[in-house]
Amino acid sequence: MADGREILYFDADPGVPRTADPGVPRTADSGVPRTATDTRDLPQTRTHSQRRFDPLLGEWVVIASHRQTRTFLPPADLCPLCPSTPDRATEIPESDYQVAVFENRFPSLSTDHADFPATVEGSPETPLRDGYGRCEVVCFTSVHDSSFARLDPQRARLVLDVWAHRSAELAALDGVGQVYCFENHGEEIGVTLSHPHGQIYAYPFVTPRVARIAENVARYRNSHGGNLFGDLLAAERTAGLRVVAANEEWTAFVPPFARWPYEVQLYPNRRVADIPDLDGAQRDGFVALYLDVLRRFAHRFDDPMPYIASWNQAPTPNSGVPRDDWWLHLQLFSIRRAPGKLKYLAGSESGMNVFISDTTPETVAAELREVR
């Protein structure tokens, strides 16, 4: 790109020139000629975020004040994720694309290293590090007025293959502890660009959620001799009470301990640690089930539900956190609790991280099963 960022194109159409492997991006050295160039006059990207360690909670906090200037809800004719035209250059130099991935222009984490003192000024108890990592944007389609739920199975499968490709590449970077693929959907969630897209964060640490889960899974293994993920999945499949939909490869259920008004977790029926580990049958099975569940979310109320789709992958092999028992799963949740009503994280949730649910998991599962 004009400012030195990397952009990758993926496609699954045999009629489009590409490399032999549809899961490999078309890059400048792939042997496939690239004609599009980024004609914008952009300064070279140099961002230096930082991370500060909270000694009370034992968690890292990322400081990225440069993100205050990022693009916010532009009109469709100024969308930076649509293909470029002769009259307007965007983040995508191509005139069309299937799936495009590029480094975020306003990243929370960056591979640019910066020198910081060992601790925050005036607070020797607060360790300070640079905000090393990588943040990527994944554009699911060139069609602006679309959504993941409206993708055809072939395109959805391509996106899954892209998540797998990028997860493997980013996990191999020195210093990356976890790779997180996610989608924010809907203005109520806080989306600043309405074009169908998601993001990938490569963190320099293991996130608090994954670290806590890994600890509890290890404790369960020591005390029960089994896999906590697997036992939870088996119980839900047997009971069926909270299962929303299932196929031979995946099960979608409302967790009995759901925090969000509408929350569904999707588990592969055969354990894998991360997205790259999924085989062809599992990938096809995920696409079928995920599109089904997304459409139930879209039609539960008159207006489609805003949601966050959150992949829970194992920490990277370099993280030092055990991966052997990790069970890949996707958490899909919405802050909408009823027509015209949102779940706000108020005193208990934001102040003490104790969620108080406005819905019952069993009722939510029954409601979503009835959606057609």
In a domain, 2, yes or no: no
Question: For residue 370, what pLDDT band results from cuts at 50, 70 and 90?
Answer: very high
Q: Verify that 213 and 173 share a domain, yes or no.
A: no
Structurally, the chain folds into a number of domains equal to: 2
Question: For residue 33, what pLDDT band results from cuts at 50, 70 and 90?
Answer: very low
In a domain, 362, yes or no: yes
Worst-scoring range by mean pLDDT, 17-26, 46-55, 124-133? 17-26
- Is pLDDT at 20 greater than 70 in this prediction? no
CA distance 256 to 240: 12
Q: Verify that 160 and 45 share a domain, yes or no.
A: yes
In a domain, 1, yes or no: no
| pLDDT given for residue 64 in this prediction | 84
pLDDT tens for 199-245 read 999 999 999 999 999 999 999 999 999 999 999 999 999 999 999 99
| pLDDT given for residue 44 in this prediction | 75
Pair 128, 118: CB distance under 8 Å: yes
pLDDT tens for 78-119 read 999 999 999 999 999 999 999 999 999 989 998 888 889 999
In a domain, 169, yes or no: yes
How would you classify residue 74: left for phi > 0, otherwise alpha for psi between -120 and 50, otherwise beta?
beta
Pair 339, 194: CB distance under 8 Å: no
> What pTM was estimated for this model as a whole?
0.92
Q: Verify that 165 and 187 share a domain, yes or no.
A: yes
Q: Verify that 104 and 146 share a domain, yes or no.
A: yes
Q: Verify that 141 and 265 share a domain, yes or no.
A: no
Residue 158 identity: L
Verify whether residue 185 is a known catalytic residue: no
In a domain, 66, yes or no: yes
pLDDT exceeding 70 applies to what percent of the chain?
91
Q: Verify that 116 and 242 share a domain, yes or no.
A: no
Q: Verify that 130 and 224 share a domain, yes or no.
A: no
In a domain, 60, yes or no: yes
Q: Give the active site residue among 48, 197, 299, 329.
A: 197
Q: Verify that 138 and 260 share a domain, yes or no.
A: no
Taking residues 1-11, report their average pLDDT.
93
- Is pLDDT at 31 greater than 80 in this prediction? no
Q: Verify that 46 and 183 share a domain, yes or no.
A: yes
Domain boundary among 206, 231, 248: 206
- Is pLDDT at 48 greater than 60 in this prediction? yes
Domain boundary among 206, 241, 267: 206
Higher-confidence residue: 77 or 155? 155
Q: Verify that 123 and 25 share a domain, yes or no.
A: yes
Domain boundary among 146, 172, 206: 206
- Is pLDDT at 144 greater than 50 in this prediction? yes
The CATH number given to whatever domain includes residue 317 is: 3.30.428.10
- Return all residues near 113 (Cβ < 8 A) that are at least 6 apart: 130, 132
Q: Verify that 20 and 34 share a domain, yes or no.
A: yes
Max avg pLDDT among 32-36, 74-78, 207-211: 207-211
Worst-scoring range by mean pLDDT, 33-42, 153-162, 264-273, 286-295? 33-42
H helix or E strand, kind and range, residue 139: strand 134-139
Tell me the pLDDT of the chain averaged across its residues: 91
Terminal C-alpha separation, the chain: 43
Which structural domain, as residue segments, surrounds residue 317? 209-370
Pair 342, 188: CB distance under 8 Å: yes
Q: Verify that 62 and 15 share a domain, yes or no.
A: yes
- Is pLDDT at 26 greater than 50 in this prediction? no
In a domain, 188, yes or no: yes
pLDDT tens for 272-306 read 999 999 999 999 999 999 999 999 999 999 999 99
